[in-house]
Amino acid sequence: MPLAHLFGDATLSLLAARTPKPVLTWPLAPVDTSAVRRVEPIVVPANGLQITCETFGDPAHPPILLIMGLAAQMVQWDDEFCARLAVRGWFVIRYDNRDIGRSTWMTGAPVPRVVALVAAKRRGLPVGVPYLLDDMARDALGVLDALGIASAHVVGVSMGGMIAQSVAVLAPGRVRSLTSVMSHTGEDDLPHPHWRASAALFLPAPRGRDAVVRRAITMWRILNGHRIAVDLARTRTQVLKAYERGRNPSGVARQLAAILASPSRADALRELRIPTLVIHGDEDPLVPLQGGRRTAELIPGARLEIIPAMGHALPPPLWDTLINHITTHARNADG
């Protein structure tokens, strides 16, 4: 039984409250994003599905494709984060993965029993799942096809980093550069998440707006790490936006199954010849730092940036640092 089922909201709230008080707080540098062109979300055909995407910036600029992680909709790439990227001279694309938000929900597919899936995998038994990370990577390529983009800089976080790696493996000619953030290689012997992070992530889905917001704030207080405060107002706004766009707990289970059932990418990553940046926080409780170290170790020429105080989140105090790393890497790749 997962630890998640042993802990209720009250226990998780207590755990979050016992976390040492954040000691790092600093304002974002002022940036005028008022002139950034933003196109309202559109639905495009991709890999046989309907994928919802949105763009920021001038389509004549070099494209950056942003891929979000498990259970997260594209709005988890904060509007301001995307605009700040675009103002640097990039055409920024974000989209909902399959089974989340306003992209196709795989409602006809079975909901995997994650505990049984983990047990079968540990015993070396074959496992059947509705789809794998490679299928989600083909969704990403389909978004680029639909937008008429031959190649892009690909940036993914957490599960999105796994998908981004798979995009690079499946179609290296379409990836100008790869940035894998707080992710790993899919190898079985990597360190496991801290139990608090697992408990926060895998509790049964709450019901109702207020419960969803409370659970999200509790979760981010754990995933953010010990030293950066959760922006409560921004988090509430983002959570409510995602709530209104549509929640799909069954889809989250299928996405998690895709992570668990997908094979290791280690051998394929060794063969990549794509400019690669690996970003990881030194306080990540969900994907320990070794996941990032291993990714950078396997991909020839990859550069590893370890971000002090960063957990498993993209908090505003780190946006300037993250955007600087991502844009510098992409510009260097473009020559």
At 201 the pLDDT is 67
At 7 the pLDDT is 41
Q: DSSP letter for 19, please.
A: S
Edge to edge, the sheet with strand 49-56 lists: 38-46, 49-56, 91-95, 63-67, 152-157, 175-181, 276-281, 303-307
Average pLDDT over residues 64-69: 98
How far does Cα 327 stand from its chain's mean position?
18
Least confident residue range of 12-21, 66-75, 130-139, 288-297: 12-21
Q: Is 312 noted as a catalytic residue in this protein?
A: yes
Average pLDDT over residues 229-250: 93
In the set 78, 96, 135, 284, the catalytic residue is 284
At 233 the pLDDT is 92
Round to whole Å and give the CA distance between 279 and 285.
15
Average pLDDT over residues 179-195: 94
pLDDT over 70 at 8, yes or no? no
Alpha helices in 32-157 (DSSP H): 79-87, 114-122, 133-146
Round to whole Å and give the CA distance between 18 and 15.
5
Structure tokens at 10: 């009250």
Phi then psi for residue 219, to 5 deg, are -60, -45
In the set 158, 183, 198, 262, the catalytic residue is 158
Helix 114-122 and helix 249-261: axis angle, to 10°? Answer: 10
Average pLDDT over residues 228-240: 92
Whether the CB-CB separation of 194 and 212 falls below 8 Å is answered with: no
Percent of the chain with pLDDT over 70: 91
Q: DSSP letter for 322, please.
A: H
Average pLDDT over residues 161-171: 98
Structure tokens at 68: 């979000």
The answer to pTM > 0.85 is yes
Question: Tokens 């049964």 label which residue?
Answer: 204
At 2 the pLDDT is 35
Least confident residue range of 100-109, 152-161, 208-217, 312-321: 208-217
What is the set of domains in the chain, with CATH numbers?
30-193+248-334 (3.40.50.1820)
At 1 the pLDDT is 29
At 12 the pLDDT is 52
Cα dist from 226 to 23, 124, 221, 235, 320, whole Å: 8, 37, 8, 17, 20
Each residue's pLDDT tens digit, 189-223: 999 898 888 777 667 777 888 999 998 998 999 99
Give the chain's length.
335
In the set 153, 312, 325, 329, the catalytic residue is 312
Phi then psi for residue 42, to 5 deg, are -125, 160
Each residue's pLDDT tens digit, 47-61: 999 999 999 999 999
Round to whole Å and give the CA distance between 101 and 68.
11
Whether the CB-CB separation of 261 and 132 falls below 8 Å is answered with: yes
At 24 the pLDDT is 61
Average pLDDT over residues 264-279: 98
Q: Is 329 noted as a catalytic residue in this protein?
A: no
Whether the CB-CB separation of 154 and 276 falls below 8 Å is answered with: no
Q: Is 61 noted as a catalytic residue in this protein?
A: no
At 226 the pLDDT is 85
**HSE-up of residue 148 (Cα within 13 Å, Cβ side):** 2
pLDDT over 50 at 3, yes or no? no
At 196 the pLDDT is 83
Structure tokens at 265: 């990418």
Q: What is the mean pLDDT of the chain?
A: 91
pLDDT over 80 at 261, yes or no? yes
Cα dist from 233 to 14, 204, 225, 240, 304, whole Å: 21, 24, 18, 11, 32
pLDDT band at 6 (very low <50, low <70, confident <90, very high): very low
Percent of the chain with pLDDT over 90: 76
pLDDT band at 244 (very low <50, low <70, confident <90, very high): very high
Is residue 125 classed exposed, middle or buried when 0-12, 13-18 and 19+ CB atoms within 10 A define those classes? exposed
Q: In degrees, to the nearest 5, what angle opens at C-alpha 98 toward C-alphas 162 and 204?
A: 85
Q: By three-state DSSP, how is residue 106 classified?
A: coil
Q: How far apart are the first and last CA of the chain?
A: 51
Average pLDDT over residues 291-297: 98
Average pLDDT over residues 139-146: 98
Q: Tell me which of 72 and 114 has the higher pLDDT.
A: 72
Q: Tell me which of 22 and 249 has the higher pLDDT.
A: 249
